[in-house]
C-alpha cells in the first residue's frame, strides 16, 4: 500500500463519535434534513475529509509559506527600489506576505485534492477497462454502486464543502457557488445515482496540477531566470494540452455518453428526472465555459509568443 492509499484509508477508517450515531444522525433523519441514507452513513467521513483539508491549509498558511512569502515580498520591494519604481501599495509589507501565504496554502490544498481524486478516478477507470469492476450497460452506470465510486464521491464532497466555505472568506461569490454546486452534484452521486460518472467527470481535474504549479512559479520563482522561464513555458504547454484533453475532448464525449445512458434508462422507475436534468445542465454549462476558457488561453499564448518573437527581433536589430 502506497502513501496515498494509507492517507485515504486512514481518513475513511476514523470512526464516528458516539453522539454522532446516537443523536446527530437520528436527528437529521427524523427532521428530514438529509433524506439519503447513504449520505447520512458517510457524513462523518465527509466531514473528517473537510477537516483534513482545512488542517493542511492552516499548517501551510501558518508554518510552511510565511517565511518564503516574506522573502518574496522583500525581493519585490528591493527590485522596485533599485529600479526607482514608485508604487503605492494598499497593504503593508506584512499584510502582503500574509495574503500571499494564504493564497499559496489554498493552491497547495487544491493541488493535494487533485492528486487524490485523480489517483482514485484513474485507478477506477483502468480497473473498469480491465473488466475488474462491472459497469457493462446504462442501467449499471446510472444505478450501480461500488466501494470505489462511493469513496470518490466522499472525497469530492468533502473537498467541495471546504472549497465553498474557504472561498467565502478568501475568494469571490462565483467560487463559492462553484463549491456549493459541485457539492450538490456529488451528493446526488452518493445516493447512489450515476456513481460511475463521478470518476469520469473528475478527469476534468487533469490540468489542475499544472495550473497550480503555474501559480507557484509565477509567485515564487524569479521571472528573469532563464531556467525558470523554460520550466514555466514547458509547464504552460502541458497545462494547455491536458486542459484540452481532459476538459474538452473527454468532457464533450462523456456528456454525450451520459445523455445516451439517461435516455436508455428513462423508463426505469428509479430514474430521477430533476437530478438528471441538473447534472446534464451543469455539465453542459461547464463544457461551454471550458471551451471559451481554452480559446481565451490559446489567444493569450499566441499573443505572448508573437510578443516574445517581436522582442527578440528588436533586440537583434539593436545589437546590429
Domain residue spans of the chain: 3-319
Q: How far apart are CA 12 and CA 198, in angstroms?
A: 18
Summarised one tens digit per residue, pLDDT across range 254-265 is 999 999 999 999
Q: Tell me how far apart the 2 most distant CA atoms of the chain are, in Å.
A: 82
- Average pLDDT, stretch 191-200? 92
Are 94 and 71 a contacting pair, CB within 8 Å? no
| CA separation, residue 296 to residues 96, 238, 292 (Å) | 29, 16, 6
Predicted TM-score of the model (pTM): 0.90
Listed range (9-13, 17-21, 126-130, 296-300) with the worst mean pLDDT: 126-130
- Mean pLDDT score, 11-39: 87
When pLDDT is averaged across residues 178-195 and rounded to a whole number, the result is 89
Please write the tens of the pLDDT for every residue from 132-151. 556 788 999 999 988 999 99
Highest mean pLDDT among 84-93, 117-126, 223-232, 286-295 belongs to 117-126
pLDDT given for residue 35 in this prediction: 77
Amino acid at each position: 500500500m502506497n502513501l496515498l492509499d494509507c492517507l485515504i484509508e486512514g481518513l475513511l477508517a476514523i470512526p464516528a463519535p458516539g453522539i454522532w450515531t446516537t443523536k446527530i444522525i437520528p436527528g437529521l433523519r427524523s427532521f428530514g434534513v438529509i433524506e439519503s441514507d447513504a449520505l447520512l452513513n458517510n457524513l462523518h467521513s465527509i466531514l473528517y475529509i473537510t477537516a483534513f483539508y482545512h488542517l493542511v491549509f492552516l499548517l501551510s498558511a501558518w508554518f510552511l509559506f510565511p517565511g518564503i512569502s516574506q522573502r518574496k515580498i522583500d525581493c519585490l520591494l528591493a527590485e522596485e527600489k533599485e529600479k526607482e519604481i514608485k508604487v503605492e501599495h494598499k497593504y503593508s509589507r506584512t499584510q502582503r506576505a500574509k495574503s500571499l501565504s494564504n493564497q499559496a496554502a489554498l493552491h497547495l490544498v487544491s493541488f493535494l485534492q487533485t492528486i487524490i481524486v485523480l489517483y482514485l478516478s484513474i485507478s477506477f477507470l483502468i480497473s473498469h477497462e480491465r473488466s475488474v469492476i462491472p459497469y457493462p450497460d446504462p442501467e449499471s452506470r446510472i444505478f450501480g454502486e461500488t466501494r470505489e465510486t462511493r469513496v470518490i464521491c466522499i472525497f469530492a464532497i468533502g473537498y467541495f464543502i471546504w472549497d465553498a466555505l474557504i472561498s467565502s472568506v478568501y475568494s469571490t461569490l462565483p467560487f463559492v457557488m462553484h463549491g456549493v454546486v459541485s457539492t450538490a452534484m456529488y451528493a446526488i452521486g452518493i445516493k447512489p445515482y450515476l456513481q460511475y460518472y463521478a470518476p469520469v467527470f473528475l478527469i476534468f481535474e487533469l490540468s489542475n496540477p499544472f495550473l497550480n504549479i503555474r501559480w507557484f512559479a509565477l509567485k515564487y520563482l524569479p521571472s528573469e531566470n532563464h531556467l525558470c522561464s523554460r520550466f514555466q513555458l514547458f509547464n504552460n504547454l502541458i497545462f494547455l494540452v491536458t486542459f484540452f484533453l481532459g476538459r474538452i475532448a473527454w468532457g464533450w464525449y462523456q456528456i454525450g455518453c451520459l445523455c445516451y445512458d439517461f435516455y436508455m434508462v428513462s423508463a426505469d422507475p428509479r430514474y430521477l428526472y430533476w437530478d438528471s436534468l441538473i447534472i446534464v445542465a451543469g455539465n453542459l454549462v461547464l463544457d461551454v465555459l471550458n471551451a471559451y476558457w481554452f480559446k481565451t488561453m490559446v489567444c493569450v499564448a499566441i499573443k505572448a509568443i508573437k510578443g516574445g518573437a517581436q522582442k527578440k527581433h528588436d533586440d537583434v536589430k539593436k545589437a546590429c
